[in-house]
Amino acid sequence: MTVNIALFDDLDAVAADAAGALDRANQPCPFARLAWFRLLAEHCPPEGRLAVLRGREGARQAWLFLAFAGSKASAYAAWYSLRFDAIGDRESDAMTSIAKDLRGRGIAEVELAPVADPAPLRAAFRKAGWRVFVTEKTGNWRIATEGMDFASYWAGRPAQLRNTAKRRGKSAGLDIEIHDRFDARAWADYEAVYKASWKPEEGSFPFLRALAQAEGEAGTLRLGIARKDGRPVAVQLWLVENGTAWIHKLAYAEHAKAMSPGTLLGMEMFRHVLDKDRVGAIDYGTGDDGYKKDWMAERRPLWRVSAYNPRTYRGLAGAARAAASALVARVGSR
């Protein structure tokens, strides 16, 4: 069966063509929805111009959201993208046809990250004639919690973490609230804590606010605020959906560091999603920050898939560099 390929540079056109296939009801992963890419496009688009390729083979469909910058195509992703991948039938001929179409457009290099399972992308691009290299980009810490309540979860945490929470909990005197709907006052506190934290310039507040508003309407928002004497000192932004709690952003005010407000708020967030939401997994997003292993149970790699078009000079040069780097890494690991 012939695969029909379409290229879109407008998300409204993608929506019309997809006919709901990229909406919340049909895409369980929050980073695979058209609404997610709309937020990125509006508030923190990657460098380059939007290019969405869709392959359709009968009832099977695949999409790849990219940013074109010259002869390079990159994942349409940003700081907040905890995952990136092709969407839909990734192992179908539709995905391979998308990779072939990119070669025909003169794209020399494709870089996709952070990918949890790189095998289908690697196979599709290789079948389409690309030279493909998969390298680890970062880590993802998570814990399976099916059937687990907070008490059993907490009993499995390191003694140092539990002792810190117990000691600080007695003296800190924090008031903690967790919102599952957007609240303007709570959001103002969220931004205030970030501005008083160690990472005040991080990311895009307009993006996060729009995300919190949309997820609040859907009931998936979990926005935690810890206050001391009415003043916010720690905040955490989580999303809970389809049995998974995604930990997006957290911060605490530097002046309150001694009372461990992040630890105390984190404990209550875990209690909420385990005892009330009954989630089957908790995901700490991206990054190997040292504190994450205390709260989680398993580290999984997130990958970068780099594909080079051997029919272009830039692609050949890029593939040669990638091959040399891979060789050095193998020798160094012996």
Judge whether 293 lies within some domain: no
Judge whether 294 lies within some domain: no
Residue 200 has pLDDT above 70, yes or no: no
Give the model's confidence band at 325: pLDDT under 50 very low, under 70 low, under 90 confident, else very high: confident
Alpha-carbon distances of 301 from 119, 142, 287, rounded to whole Å: 13, 11, 10
163 and 100 together in one domain = no
How high is the mean pLDDT of the chain?
Answer: 95
208 and 318 together in one domain = no
8 and 119 together in one domain = yes
Residue 322 has pLDDT above 70, yes or no: yes
Alpha-carbon distances of 311 from 97, 100, 315, 318, rounded to whole Å: 17, 12, 7, 12
18 and 111 together in one domain = yes
Q: Average pLDDT, stretch 324-330?
A: 76
Q: Identify any residues that bridge with 65 across adjacent strands, giving them in sequence order.
A: 52
List, in sequence order, every beta strand (DSSP E) within the chain: 4-8, 49-57, 60-69, 72-75, 87-88, 109-115, 131-144, 175-179, 221-228, 231-241, 244-252, 281-283, 298-308
The CATH number of residue 136's host domain is 3.40.630
151 and 132 together in one domain = no
Judge whether 122 lies within some domain: yes
Judge whether 295 lies within some domain: no
- Work out the percent of the chain whose per-residue pLDDT is above 90: 90
> Could you read off the pLDDT of 100-126 as tens digits, one per residue?
999 999 999 999 999 999 999 999 999
Global confidence as pTM: 0.94
28 and 53 together in one domain = yes
Judge whether 29 lies within some domain: yes
**pLDDT score of 198:** 77
116 and 160 together in one domain = no
Residue 284 has pLDDT above 80, yes or no: yes
**pLDDT score of 167:** 93
275 and 320 together in one domain = no
Residue 164 has pLDDT above 70, yes or no: yes
- Provide the domain limits for residue 226: 146-279
Judge whether 177 lies within some domain: yes
> Could you read off the pLDDT of 56-82 as tens digits, one per residue?
998 899 999 999 999 999 999 999 999
* Residue 246 near residue 82 (C-beta atoms within 8 A): yes
**pLDDT score of 209:** 96
- Work out the percent of the chain whose per-residue pLDDT is above 70: 97
**pLDDT score of 1:** 65
The CATH number of residue 165's host domain is 3.40.630.30
Judge whether 128 lies within some domain: yes
**pLDDT score of 334:** 58
Q: How many CB atoms lie within 10 A of CB 19?
A: 9
**pLDDT score of 56:** 95
**pLDDT score of 203:** 74
180 and 104 together in one domain = no
Judge whether 285 lies within some domain: no
Give the model's confidence band at 92: pLDDT under 50 very low, under 70 low, under 90 confident, else very high: confident
223 and 258 together in one domain = yes
104 and 228 together in one domain = no
68 and 180 together in one domain = no
Is residue 210 within a helix (H) or strand (E), and if so which, with residue range? helix 205-218
Q: How many domains does the chain have?
A: 2
